[in-house]
């Protein structure tokens, strides 16, 4: 049984002028446990809509979402997500931000602090427990947001362009961390992005959304021959990288200005 | 300030800031005290030399004499206590009720939309114009002053708290919801702390408004209070006592600001 199964998801919105805007049409997707899948598509292709449906933040107008065979009807403790905005609360220290979710779920403060502190230390934020987000760099903030997500021990992690606001070096570093941490914890991950390089270098599989309304246009397993450890940097050096990149690029129907 | 700006500043040559640390910290207050001393000395000298009409402007020595007199006969204590009591009670009630009501509107967009225009309209009314009404209804005692201070602060606190609920990051609300937070948890962990800076900004404005409410109430009709003392002294052309009252009111305001700043440091965290 797939870990996450979307079948026949359709979604549309009423525009301000009353006309109907169809975003997703009959989207189906099955994701296995432990898979790292990227969903790529041009802006407005319904990536975020799909994301919200999987997260249980929006109910699809038709179709079903099931996690481990159980239909999803609202935010689930088995799913956690991370966005482009780190959404750290400026009045909470790094540790307090990380333990926010545990606090809400009623985990005793001591226990929450212990678990949060452990992850902060393990994932390179030792020493910043007591700092407020204002004192952290963009990369550190996003790392704290990742730990806030992981400390909830989700089965499925949804990532909505979490790297897009970072500079290139920080981005590569954080991509490597996210990939490693998610594999280490045995989570299933879905990354929404418009960056093909990122998708190919980090994922086991890339799904391209396209068309209006959007549906799955390409679903490709990524198998890269990487020398040494697989990191987003080494993955980009793999001989197959360009081929995947090209295949995905062609599906995006990018019309460049000036091209007829 | 961004981390980049901080780094840039740290990289700049140190000599941009001149002098010893002691001098840098002491320079501003030293200049302030000197200017005040010079003005007071000139004022006194001018009055002594009959260049300034002491009857019309008062004199520093006269103000000191008035302070000694009112201190000795106990009226200074009675008047300031009365005014502080009215101001603080009105301020606290107005701030609490206004803030709570404003924050509660987060729970109901419908009620918010019903109430908002009325609040905005009431905010535009100079509250001291309500003074005569309130005094007729509540009498010349402390209650009417408290109510004037209260209505002067209520709407400011209300609109600030209500405005703050609308500034809350919608993505954070979604994040908390997705973790399974109840509405009350979202209120306590997100709404309240993120509204705090807005509410403190309102309180800083309200210190002044509460004082105006209390003092104007005392002007209209009262038996005690700094406003009462200033009003009576003004009618008697006792300008020194008027100045003394103004100084007392400034001191009260300054102390309230300082206390407020201390509370803000304790309650509003992580702002740089």
Model confidence at B76, in pLDDT bands (50, 70, 90)? very high
CB contact under 8 Å between A93 and B179, yes or no, is no
Residues A132-147: pLDDT tens digits?
A: 998 888 888 988 998 9
Model confidence at B73, in pLDDT bands (50, 70, 90)? very high
Q: How far is residue B109 from each of residues A57, A151, B117, B146, B192, measured CA to CA in Å?
A: 20, 34, 13, 31, 17
Q: Which residues in A lie closer than 8 A to residue B194 (C-beta atoms)?
A: 89, 91
Longest dimension (CA), chain A: 63
Instruction: Count CB-CB contacts under 10 A for residue B85.
Output: 15
Of all residues in chain A, the one with the smallest CA distance to B194 is: A91
Output the six-digit token pair for B136.
């007729």
Residues B109-167: pLDDT tens digits?
A: 888 888 888 888 888 888 888 989 999 999 888 999 999 999 999 999 999 999 999 88
CB contact under 8 Å between A132 and B175, yes or no, is no
- Quote the CA–CA distance of B142 and B139 in Å, as a whole number: 8
Among B residues 194-223, those touching chain A with beta carbons less than 8 Å apart: 194, 196
* Residue-level pLDDT at A96: 92
Strand order in the sheet with A4-14: A20-31, A4-14, A62-67, A70-71
Of all residues in chain A, the one with the smallest CA distance to B2 is: A134
Q: Which residues in A lie closer than 8 A to residue B180 (C-beta atoms)?
A: 75, 77, 104-105
Residues A204-254: pLDDT tens digits?
A: 888 888 777 877 777 877 777 777 777 777 877 777 778 878 878 877 766
* Residue-level pLDDT at B32: 92
* Nearest of A164, A107, A159, A96 to residue A133 by alpha carbon: A96
- Quote the CA–CA distance of A88 and A178 in Å, as a whole number: 18
Percent of chain B topping pLDDT 90: 62
- Nearest CB to B269; choose among A77, A91, A104: A91
Let me know how many helices (H) and strands (E) chain B has, helices first.
Answer: 13, 0
What does pLDDT average to over chain B? Answer: 89
| pTM higher than 0.90 | no
Report ipTM (2 d.p.). Answer: 0.80
Q: Which residues in A lie closer than 8 A to residue B270 (C-beta atoms)?
A: 89-93, 132-134
* Residue-level pLDDT at A212: 78
* Residue-level pLDDT at B14: 54
CB contact under 8 Å between A87 and B171, yes or no, is yes
Name every residue whose Cβ is closer than 8 Å to that of residue B147 and which is 6 or more positions away in sequence: B90, B134, B138
Residues B221-263: pLDDT tens digits?
A: 888 999 999 999 999 999 999 999 999 999 999 999 999 999 9
With a cut of 60, say whether residue A257 has pLDDT above it.
no
Segment B169-190 shows an average pLDDT of 89
Say if CB A217 and CB A227 are below 8 A apart. no
Residues B89-101: pLDDT tens digits?
A: 999 999 999 999 9
Phi and psi at A188, nearest 5°, equal -90, 135
- Nearest CB to A57; choose among B174, B180, B196: B174
């Amino acid at each position: 049984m797939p870990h996450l199964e979307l079948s026949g998801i359709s979604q549309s919105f009423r525009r301000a002028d009353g006309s109907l805007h169809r975003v997703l049409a009959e989207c189906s997707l099955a994701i296995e446990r432990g898979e790292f899948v990227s969903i790529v598509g041009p802006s407005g292709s319904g990536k975020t809509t799909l994301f919200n449906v999987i997260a249980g933040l929006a109910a699809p107008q038709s179709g079903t979402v099931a996690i481990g065979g159980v239909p999803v009807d609202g935010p689930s403790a088995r799913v956690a997500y991370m966005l482009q905005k780190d959404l750290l609360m400026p009045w909470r220290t790094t540790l307090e931000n990380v333990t926010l979710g545990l606090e809400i779920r009623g985990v005793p403060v001591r226990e929450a602090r212990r678990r949060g502190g452990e992850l902060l230390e393990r994932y390179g934020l030792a020493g910043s427990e007591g700092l407020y987000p204002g004192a952290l760099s963009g990369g550190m903030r996003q790392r704290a947001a990742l730990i806030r997500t992981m400390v909830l021990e989700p089965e499925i992690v949804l990532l909505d362009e979490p790297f897009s606001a970072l500079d290139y070096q920080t981005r590569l570093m954080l991509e490597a961390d996210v990939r490693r941490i998610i594999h280490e914890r045995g989570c299933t991950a879905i990354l929404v992005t418009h960056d093909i390089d990122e998708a190919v270098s980090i994922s086991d599989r890339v799904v391209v959304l396209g068309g209006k309304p959007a549906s799955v246009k390409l679903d490709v397993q990524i198998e890269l021959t990487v020398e040494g450890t697989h990191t987003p940097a080494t993955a980009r050096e793999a001989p197959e990288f360009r081929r995947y990149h090209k295949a995905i690029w062609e599906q995006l129907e990018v019309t460049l200005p000036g091209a007829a | 300030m961004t981390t980049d700006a901080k780094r840039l500043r740290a990289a700049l040559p140190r000599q941009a800031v001149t002098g010893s640390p002691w001098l840098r910290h002491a320079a501003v207050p030293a200049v302030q005290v000197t200017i005040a001393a010079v003005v007071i000395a000139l004022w006194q000298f001018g009055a002594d030399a009959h260049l300034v009409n002491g009857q019309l402007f008062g004199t520093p020595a006269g103000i000191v004499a008035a302070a000694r007199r009112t201190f000795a006969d106990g009226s200074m204590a009675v008047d300031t206590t009365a005014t502080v009591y009215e101001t603080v009670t009105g301020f606290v009630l107005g701030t609490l009720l206004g803030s709570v009501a404003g924050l509660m509107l987060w729970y109901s967009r419908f009620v918010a939309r019903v109430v908002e225009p009325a609040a905005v309209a009431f905010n535009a009314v100079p509250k001291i114009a309500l003074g005569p009404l309130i005094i007729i209804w509540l009498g010349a005692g402390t209650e009417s002053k408290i109510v004037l201070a209260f209505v002067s602060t209520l709407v400011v606190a209300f609109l600030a708290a209500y405005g703050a609920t609308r500034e809350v990051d919608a993505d954070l609300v979604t994040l908390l919801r997705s973790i399974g937070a109840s509405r009350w948890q979202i209120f306590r962990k997100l709404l309240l702390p993120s509204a705090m800076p807005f509410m403190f900004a309102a309180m800083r404005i309200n210190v002044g408004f509460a004082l105006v409410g209390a003092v104007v109430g005392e002007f209209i009709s009262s038996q005690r209070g700094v406003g009462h003392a200033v009003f009576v002294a003004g009618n008697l052309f006792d300008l020194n006592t008027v100045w003394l009252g103004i100084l007392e009111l400034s001191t009260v305001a300054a102390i309230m600001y300082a206390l407020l700043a201390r509370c803000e440091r304790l309650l509003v965290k992580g702002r740089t």
